[in-house]
Amino acid sequence: MKTLFENITVITMDDNIGVVNNGFVSTDGKLINYVGTSRPSGNFDRVIDGENKVLMPGLINAHTHTAMTLLRGYADDMNLQDWLYNKIFPFEDKMTPEDVRRGSGIAIDEMLSGGTTCFSDMYFFQAETGRAAVKKGIRAVLSDCVNFDGYDRKVKLMEEMAEEFKGCDLISFTFSPHAIYTCSFELLEKCAEYAKRHNMPIHTHLAETRTEFSDCEIEHNMTPTEYMESAGLFENPTIAAHCVAMTDNDLEILKKYNVSVAHNPISNLKLASGVAPVPKMLDMGINVAIGTDGASSNNSLDMFEEIKAAALIHKGTSLDPTAVPAETALKMATVNGAKALGFDNLGIIKSGYLADLIVVDFDVPHLKPMHNPVSSIVYSAKCTDVEYTMVNGKIVYER
């Protein structure tokens, strides 16, 4: 399949957030094969007129729990610990593989229609999520979450998934100990050792609340970050979700091990968990991506909302309007997300990169006029403005 986007504004995310006006981008199979200002030669299976439209990389949701769409609105206005132990865990104990399949399908439809082309999921019955992802054509990084005493069973499930999806370039994997409050130290060590032995990244929750932080200090005389470091988790490439309660030394640890942070501003606000020190992380060179968390604590999977929140919340808390500028927020949802998930050919519109692209319709009142397309995307665009979503060179959503 060869597709040409013509006469379109292109946010390439390359070379410091490059913008090409009246540009042309073509795809051939799974890859982008041309980006420029003149029409490429050759015939195309489909040509998309870009008048009043913006082409940009697909959004990357670096931390979510897709099947939790089934819990959307089920338990609101609670703190994290009460929410988890009194409402969420009891509900999840009753969920079946069929429930996860349906919940994941709802989530994927929501993400694709809202411009998300890749997501990193941490849940259970993940083979069902993988099947839904392949069927609908979205890129997914999956892990059957390890907690309490489920190590051996989860290893078996992960190995079965690896065999089932072998050769499928839409599906890859991480290994996911849930958190320090659901995994013993020995279990964390086993997860670290397994990931290292199988060359797998780690995806985990870290320092999401002050309660988690203070409990860890009282019980172990260490911060959650120091505790995970001592278990050897960070010796693997790691995506650490939340990272709200952090000391300066914790940040130095993240920097030392090149840990990527998945920032979830809306979920952290809704659960009153706090605000991650993202500006300090960015200043230190820590890779910060963006995630929505699950639809039960957000309550949507709208990455446009998440990008805007990531840009605004740090301005408000720091009283600095230059904190997390629009370009940085958009980079967190594209380039940084690709880096966090281990891709070196994703998140940028560039020849030879994977053709995961979205078209945003600017022919709507709230996106007029377009002085700066990046600012408009971050501060004004809505998920409903997405007109086309392409993954692996195939249009999988069309409004």
Encode pLDDT of 147-205 as tens digits. 886 899 999 999 999 999 999 999 999 999 999 999 999 999 999 999 999 999 999 99
pLDDT confidence tier of residue 73, bands split at 50, 70 and 90: very high
Helices in 272-354 by DSSP H: which ranges?
278-283, 303-318, 326-332, 335-340
Question: What is the pTM for the complete model shown?
Answer: 0.97
Q: Could you tell me if 293 and 263 are in contact, meaning their C-beta atoms sit under 8 angstroms apart?
A: no
Tell me how far apart the terminal alpha carbons of the chain are, to the nearest angstrom: 20
Q: Are 262 and 291 in contact (CB under 8 A)?
A: yes
User: Looking at residue 277, what is its pLDDT?
Assistant: 98
DSSP code of residue 299: S
Which tokens belong to 168? 């499928």
- Between the alpha carbon of residue 374 and those of residues 11, 56, 241, 371, 378, the distances in Å are 7, 10, 26, 9, 6
The one-letter amino acid at 379: Y
Q: What is the pLDDT of residue 81?
A: 87
Tokens 């007129």 belong to: 49
pLDDT digits (tens, 9 = 90+) for 97-154: 999 999 999 999 999 999 999 999 999 999 999 999 999 999 999 999 998 868 999 9
pLDDT for 17 beyond 80:
no
- Helix 97-113 with 126-136: angle, nearest 10 deg: 40
- The pLDDT > 90 percentage for the chain reads 97
Please compute the mean of the pLDDT values over residues 90-96 and round it to a whole number: 94
DSSP string, 219-272: HHSS-HHHHHHHTTGGGS-EEEEE--S--HHHHHHHHHTTPEEEE-HHHHHHTT
User: What is the C-alpha radius of gyration for the chain, rounded to an integer number of angstroms?
Assistant: 20
Position 148 scores a pLDDT of: 82
> Largest Cα–Cα distance in the chain?
67
Give residue-wise pLDDT tens across range 195-234. 999 999 999 999 999 999 999 999 999 999 999 999 999 9
Q: What structural domains does the chain harbor?
A: 2-58+347-398 (2.30.40.10), 59-340 (3.20.20.140)
The per-residue pLDDT for 92 is 92
Quote the pLDDT of residue 15.
79
- CA trace torsion 132, 133, 134, 138 (10° rounding): 150
Confidence band, pLDDT 50/70/90 cuts, at residue 69: very high
Which residue, 209, 200, 208, 203, is CA-closest to 178? 203
CA angle 190, 192, 155 (to 5 degrees): 60
Digit-coded pLDDT (tens) for 326-372 = 999 999 999 999 999 999 999 999 999 999 999 999 999 999 999 99
Residue-wise pLDDT for 251-278, tens only, equals: 999 999 999 999 999 999 999 999 999 9
From the list 294, 272, 275, 263, the residue with the least C-alpha distance to 74 is: 294
Q: Please, which residues have CB within 8 angstroms of residue 178's CB and are 6 or more apart in sequence?
A: 122, 145, 146, 147, 204, 205
Average pLDDT over residues 374-390: 98
CB atoms within 10 A of CB 45: 10
91, with CB counted inside 10 A (0-12, 13-18, 19+), is middle
Contact 381, 345 (CB under 8 A): no
Helix (H) or strand (E) holding 28: strand 19-28
